[in-house]
Amino acid sequence: MNKLSHIILSILMPLDPRHTAAVVLKVSDYGESDKIVTFYTQSFGKLACIAKGAKRSKKRFVNKLELFSLLQIIFDNKGSSLARIDEAELIRIYPLLREDYTRYAAATLICEILLNWTKEYDEDERLFTLLLWTLNALNSSTETIRTLILFHIKLFDILGYRPDLSVCSICGMPPAGREKIRFSISGSCIICSKCSKHKGSAEIPVSLSTLKLMQKTQDLPLTKLSRLCFSQTSSKEATNIVRQYSSYLLQRDIQSWNFL
């Protein structure tokens, strides 16, 4: 088909409404009767939609436009900057995320991260898979902090910010024994005790055992992450690193950490 006939055809035939799997990241009231819902979708990345009448008549979207729900949605984005959600079918809810405070706070943190770190219509299937894995893990496991650590390490990987944890970035030697290793936030790397004497800013102390766990998280597929056990010390060290590293990369604090 040549370019002109393609243009004519697209004018004559309006685009079909689009459908995709989507997770609810944020819901807010809009005017008297509508709601604005922001999703992370499988096929279109982040997507903000207006749900007409969702506030008044609950019939159409009953119990569907709730935080963390996984839906199949049909939306229309013609002629407006804000898409309009036409239909939503519930695929899965994660009940414990709404009942348990810590799990709720952790799931809210995941949503805040995705809202801040993704763009509309910039899809990434791996990110969508990671989101579903994380919600499922938060809903089924009691190890909330461990799940948050694993989520962040995989997230850095997907977004292209995977730090090199294998060797000291200055002398190139792998860390060994009980030496004090430091994670450099600005360098996205580690520095051994010898070399860290010459450095200083934005470095976080980390033990070798925590580093090894973080490396394994980088290398293992999502389906095998449940075998990793973080001690209390490793949880603390790794949480400190992922929290500060993500704030540095985003250039802002993630508020939801304060509720955990």
Closest approach, Cβ 193 to Zn ion, in A, equals 8
Closest approach, Cβ 190 to Zn ion, in A, equals 9
Closest approach, Cβ 171 to Zn ion, in A, equals 3
Do the Cβ atoms of 231 and 195 come closer than 8 Å? no
Buried b (16+ CB within 10 A) or exposed e, 93-116: bbeebeebeebbbbbbbbbbbbee
For residues 136 and 193, which CB has a smaller minimum distance to Zn ion in the complex? 193
Closest approach, Cβ 187 to Zn ion, in A, equals 12
CA–CA gap between residue 222 and residue 149 (Å, rounded): 13
For residues 9 and 171, which CB has a smaller minimum distance to Zn ion in the complex? 171
Closest approach, Cβ 163 to Zn ion, in A, equals 15
For residues 55 and 199, which CB has a smaller minimum distance to Zn ion in the complex? 199
Closest approach, Cβ 178 to Zn ion, in A, equals 15
- Please report, as ranges, the residues that interact with Zn ion according to CB under 5 A: 168, 170-171, 192, 195
**Residue that the structure tokens 């999703």 belong to:** 39
Closest approach, Cβ 192 to Zn ion, in A, equals 3
The torsion defined by the Cα of 158, 163, 164 and 166, in degrees rounded to 10, comes to -100
For residues 137 and 211, which CB has a smaller minimum distance to Zn ion in the complex? 211
* Distance between start and end Cα atoms, the chain: 57
* Tokens representing residue 236 in the block: 């603390």
* Tokens representing residue 150 in the block: 């694993």
Q: Which amino acid is at 221?
A: P
* Tokens representing residue 39 in the block: 């999703």
Residue 134: its H or E element: helix 125-140
For residues 170 and 228, which CB has a smaller minimum distance to Zn ion in the complex? 170
For residues 118 and 188, which CB has a smaller minimum distance to Zn ion in the complex? 188
For residue 37, what are the β-bridge partners?
A: 27, 49
For residues 90 and 195, which CB has a smaller minimum distance to Zn ion in the complex? 195
Do the Cβ atoms of 192 and 169 come closer than 8 Å? no
* Tokens representing residue 146 in the block: 């461990």
